């Protein structure tokens, strides 16, 4: 009888311990759920490649942070389809249902549509893969990604100074990003006594570029260099058709050129081309490969840094609000991230580091840091 009594008591004690442990774990998890982040990315449509790399970078950061145990990051994803109206609907849905104090927004057309809503909603917007000028304000709108000068301007400077080019052609995608890149390239190139003697836009889903290439080949005198910017399936098609049509001018490009799917699509047509890229750390490259078994990209790196910067801000407070995020962003100085040294400027644009790369013998090599 006594043995039975002690057995019952033992079972009761074990049950109580289990209940207490579960209760404590639940309480801890509840306390850790302090950081809510929204993300509006183009998961479908021509910008889907960007979206996947951005999500990969964010998810890697979230996994690492949540494993530390001091905070719990939750990201709420929505698809913009790279359409401004769809992006607005997604933004309103996020704010009404999940109420994140900060939302990460990708691609220029969507960012331009959402920018006026930031102050009205009293929430922060963080931009990635957005290069148009004047989209940040340092109050509700911040960017951790190169603007048009950070890509087109860097390449214009490099080609003028290092490749001794004076006459340039620009092929640009017909949207906000493309037009901003054309202006940035032309303005910087002119500072080094260069002239853009030919510029032509193309459409996102265009497949035949023979007309534009014929115009380019008829220009006299011929340009020394071509600068290409854009994204989507048309981007790689232009590069291949330039090669097929016998264009021999030096080809330079933006960060889209370095995406693994772009390099795979263009094959030998990319040989000798130069492109601008972010300064990515080897540590991030290795961590990204270990998780996804694929090459990291700057898009993933910037996304990774955004989440980690938000985490660094959240660790200093028990109330993760728009005001706290704003103050924290302006305190980002010489932050060593996946994409090198980062300092947030007063206007909400980050000062970033860049490299120029070239395709040599089928390999990507850094030619200027």
Q: Looking at residue 369, what is its pLDDT?
A: 87
Q: Looking at residue 28, what is its pLDDT?
A: 41
Judgement on whether residues 233 and 364 belong to the same structural domain of the protein:
yes
pLDDT > 90 in the chain, percent: 86
Name the residue with tokens 């963080």.
126
In a domain, 220, yes or no: yes
Secondary structure of the chain in HEC code, one letter for each residue = CHHHHHHHHHHHHHHHHHHHHHHHHHHHHHHHCCEEEEEEECCCCCCHHHHHHHHHHHHHHHHHHHHHCCCCEEEEEEECCCCHHHHHHHHHHHHHHCCCCEEEEECHHHHHHHHHHHHHHCCEEEEECCCCCCCCCCCCEEECCCCHHHHHHHHHHHHHHHCCCCEEEEEEECCHHHHHHHHHHHHHHHHCCCEEEEEEEECCCCCCCHHHHHHHHHCCCCCCEEEECCCCHHHHHHHHHHHHCCCCCEEEECHHHHCHHHHHHHHHHHCCCEEEEECCCHHHHHHHHHHHCCCCCHHHHHHHHHHHHHHHHHCCCCCCCHHHHHHHHHCCCCEEECCEEEEECCCCEEECCEEEEEEECCEEEEEEC
Judgement on whether residues 138 and 177 belong to the same structural domain of the protein:
no
Q: Looking at residue 232, what is its pLDDT?
A: 86
Range 249-264 average pLDDT: 96
Neighbours of 245 (CB within 10 A): 13
Judgement on whether residues 238 and 345 belong to the same structural domain of the protein:
no
Of the pLDDT bands very low, low, confident and very high (cuts 50, 70, 90), residue 13 is low
Of the pLDDT bands very low, low, confident and very high (cuts 50, 70, 90), residue 32 is low
Sign of CA dihedral 309, 311, 312, 313: positive
In a domain, 14, yes or no: no
Give the number of domains in the chain: 2
Judgement on whether residues 274 and 196 belong to the same structural domain of the protein:
yes
Judgement on whether residues 235 and 335 belong to the same structural domain of the protein:
no
Judgement on whether residues 274 and 284 belong to the same structural domain of the protein:
no
Judgement on whether residues 119 and 211 belong to the same structural domain of the protein:
no
Judgement on whether residues 154 and 270 belong to the same structural domain of the protein:
yes
Q: Looking at residue 30, what is its pLDDT?
A: 44
Quick check: 236 pLDDT over 60?
Answer: yes
Judgement on whether residues 301 and 253 belong to the same structural domain of the protein:
no
Range 321-334 average pLDDT: 97
Higher model confidence: residue 133 or residue 87? 87
Q: What is the mean pLDDT of the chain?
A: 92
Quick check: 79 pLDDT over 60?
Answer: yes
In a domain, 299, yes or no: yes
CATH value at residue 322: 3.40.50.2300
Judgement on whether residues 76 and 141 belong to the same structural domain of the protein:
yes
Judgement on whether residues 361 and 243 belong to the same structural domain of the protein:
yes
Q: Which domain holds residue 331?
A: 32-147+280-352
pLDDT tens string 339-358:
999 999 999 999 999 999 99
In a domain, 22, yes or no: no
End-to-end CA gap in the chain: 81
186 alpha carbon, distance to own chain's centre = 24
């Amino acid at each position: 009888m006594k043995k039975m009594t002690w057995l019952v008591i033992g079972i009761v004690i074990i049950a109580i311990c289990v209940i207490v442990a579960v209760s404590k774990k639940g309480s801890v998890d509840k306390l850790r759920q302090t950081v809510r982040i929204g993300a509006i990315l183009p998961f479908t449509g021509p910008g889907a490649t960007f979206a996947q790399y951005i999500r990969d970078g964010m998810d890697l950061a979230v996994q690492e942070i949540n494993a530390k145990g001091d905070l719990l990051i939750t990201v709420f994803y929505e698809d913009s389809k790279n359409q401004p109206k769809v992006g607005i609907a997604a933004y309103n849905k996020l704010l009404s249902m999940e109420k994140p104090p900060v939302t990460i927004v990708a691609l220029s057309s969507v960012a331009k549509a959402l920018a006026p809503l930031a102050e009205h909603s009293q929430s922060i917007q963080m931009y990635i893969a957005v290069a148009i000028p004047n989209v940040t304000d340092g109050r509700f709108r911040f960017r951790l990604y190169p603007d048009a000068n950070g890509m087109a301007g860097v390449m214009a400077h490099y080609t003028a100074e290092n490749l001794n080019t004076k006459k340039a052609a620009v092929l640009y995608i017909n949207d906000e990003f493309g037009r901003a890149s054309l202006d940035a390239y032309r303005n910087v190139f002119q500072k080094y006594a260069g002239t853009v003697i030919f510029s032509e836009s193309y459409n996102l889903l265009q497949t035949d570029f023979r007309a534009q290439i014929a115009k380019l080949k008829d220009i006299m005198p011929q340009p020394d260099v071509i600068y290409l910017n854009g994204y989507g399936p048309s981007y790689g098609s232009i590069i291949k058709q330039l090669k097929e049509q016998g264009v021999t001018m030096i080809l330079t490009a933006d960060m889209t050129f370095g995406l693994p799917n772009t390099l795979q699509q263009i094959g030998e047509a990319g040989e000798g081309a130069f492109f601008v890229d972010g300064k990515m750390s080897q540590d991030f490259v290795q961590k990204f490969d270990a998780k996804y078994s694929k090459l990291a990209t700057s898009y993933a790196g910037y996304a990774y840094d955004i989440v980690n910067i938000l985490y660094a801000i959240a660790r200093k407070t028990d109330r993760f609000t728009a005001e706290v995020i704003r103050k924290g962003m302006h305190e980002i100085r010489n932050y060593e991230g996946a994409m090198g040294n980062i300092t947030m400027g007063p206007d909400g644009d980050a000062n970033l580091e860049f490299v120029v790369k070239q395709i040599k013998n089928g390999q990507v090599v850094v030619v200027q840091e």
